[in-house]
Structure 1
Amino acid sequence: MATLLDAYEAILIFLETGGDVLVIIGVTIFIMWMLIVERIWFFQIQYRANRRHTLAQWEGRTERKSWQARQIRQAMVSRCKQSLTASLPLIQTLIAICPLLGLLGTVTGMIEVFTSISFGGTGNARVMASGVSKATIPTMAGMVGALSGLFAITYLKRFAQRESELIEDRLTID
C-alpha cells in the first residue's frame, strides 16, 4: 500500500512540476490510448465475427454476377472498410495535437521564466529552474505521446488495409 501511495505522490509531483498543460497532455494521451485499445479490441474480437457474418451472407447468395449483386458486394466491402477505419482519423488528430500541446507547455513555461526574471531578476535560479522545467517537461510528454501513438496508428492502419483487401478478395464474383 505504501508503494502505491509513493507512486501516486510521485505522479502528483511530476504533474505539478510540468504545469497545467501537462494535465491536458495527459488527458489527451489517455483518450488517444483508450481509442487505440478499443480499435485493437474491435479488430481482435468484434471484427472477426463481422467478417464471418459478411462472408456467410455473401456465400449464401445464389446469384453473384448481376449488376445488383455487384452493388451489394460493394456495399458489404464498404461497410467492412468503414468499420475497420472508424476512430482512426480521431486517433491521428490526437497524435497531431500532442506535440502542439507540448509546445504550448513550452511557451507557458518560458512566460513563467520571463515573469520571474522581471520580478526577481536573474539572481533567483530556483524560480527560473521551475519555469524551465514547466517548459521542457510538457514538450517531452507531448513528443512521447505522439511517438507512441504513431507506432500504434501505423499498426492499426496496416491491419485495416490488409483486412480491407482480404474481404474484397474473399467476396468473389462467380
Structure 2
Amino acid sequence: MDFPEFILIIKQLLAAGGIVMPPLVLCILLLWYGLGYRFWVMKSPKSMSVRDLLKYYQQHDDKPAASIVAQAIKQGVRLQKKGVKNLRRHLDAAFYEYEREIGKFSVLVRIVIIISPLLGLLGTVIGMIETFDSLATMTLHSQSGGIAGGISQALFTTQMGLTVAIPGLLAHSMLNRKQQQIELDLAQVKDLLCHQIPNHHPTKSFSS
C-alpha cells in the first residue's frame, strides 16, 4: 500500500464517522502512545528475584541495568556504599523518580478509555438524528447520506469507540498490575538495603 492509498483510506474513515472521527483518531494516537511508553518503561527482561538482583549488583555495580528495578537497585547500592546517614530518606527521594516514571501517562490513558465510548455514543446520536431527519423528509439519499448514511455513521462510530476502549482497558489493567508489582519491588529494595547497613560497618561491632 503506497502513501496516496493510505491517505485515501484515512479520508474514507473520517467521512464514514462524521464529525466525531477526528477526536476518535486523536484518542487512538494518545492511547497507544501512552500505553507504548508505559510498556517500554516497565519492561523487565530479567526473571531474577529482587534479592538476587540486589546481590548481583552489590558484586557487579558496573554492569548495565536492564529494568527500572535494576536501575533503582544500582542507585541504592551506590548510596549504601557511600555510607550516607538516614539511608531510608535518601532512598525515598531517589526512588521517587522511578515511581513517578512508571505512573506517567496513566491518567491520560484512563481518560482516553473513558472518553472514547462516549465519543462513539455521540456519533451514534448524530447518526440517528440524521436518520430521523431523512425519514421526516422522506429522503433516502441526501448530501450527508440520508437514511443509509445516518445508520452507517451511528454503527461505525459506536464500533470505533469500543475498538479504542476495550483493548486499551485490557492493556491498561495489565500495565497497572505491572506497576503495582514494581512498586512492591522498590519497597522491598529499600527494606533490604536499610537492613543490610550493619553488615557494612564492621568497625562498630563489639568483640567478645
Equivalent residue for 1:160, pick from 169, 175, 179: 179
TM-score (norm 2): 0.70
Residues 105, 135 of structure 1: 8 Å contact kept: yes
Structure 2 unaligned residues grouped into runs of 5+:
44-65, 196-208
Q: CA deviation at 1:138?
A: 0.8
Residues 36, 152 of structure 1: 8 Å contact kept: yes
- Residues 1:59 and 1:69: Cα distance change in structure 2 (over 3 Å): closer
- Residues 1:99 and 1:55: Cα distance change in structure 2 (over 3 Å): same
Over alpha carbons, which structure has the higher Rg?
2
Corresponding residue SS for 1:152: helix
CA distance in 2, matches of 1:10, 1:82: 39
TM-score (norm 1): 0.82
Q: CA deviation at 1:73?
A: 2.7
**In the alignment, which residue of structure 1 is the partner of 2:77?**
56
Runs of 4+ residues deviating >4 angstroms: none
Equivalent residue for 1:129, pick from 126, 129, 148: 148
Q: CA deviation at 1:127?
A: 1.7
**In the alignment, which residue of structure 1 is the partner of 2:18?**
19
Corresponding residue SS for 2:42: helix
Q: Across the two proteins, how many residue pairs are aligned to each other?
A: 168
**In the alignment, which residue of structure 1 is the partner of 2:56?**
none
- Correspondence list, 1:93-132, <5 A: 93-118=111-136, 120-121=137-138, 124=140, 127-132=146-151
Residues 69, 186 of structure 2: 8 Å contact kept: no
Q: CA deviation at 1:58?
A: 3.5
CA distance in 2, matches of 1:35, 1:130: 34
Q: CA deviation at 1:10?
A: 3.0
Q: CA deviation at 1:140?
A: 0.7
Residues 69, 185 of structure 2: 8 Å contact kept: no
What percent identity do the matched residue pairs reach?
26
Larger proportion of helix: 1
**In the alignment, which residue of structure 2 is the partner of 1:142?**
161
Q: CA deviation at 1:112?
A: 1.2
Tell me: higher relative CO, structure 1 or 2? Use CA pairs within 8 A at least 6 residues apart. Answer: 1
Structure 1 unaligned residues grouped into runs of 5+:
none
Residues 123, 157 of structure 2: 8 Å contact kept: yes
- Residues 1:47 and 1:70: Cα distance change in structure 2 (over 3 Å): closer
Q: CA deviation at 1:31?
A: 1.2
Residues 18, 153 of structure 2: 8 Å contact kept: yes
Confirm whether residue 170 of structure 1 aligns to residue 189 of structure 2.
yes
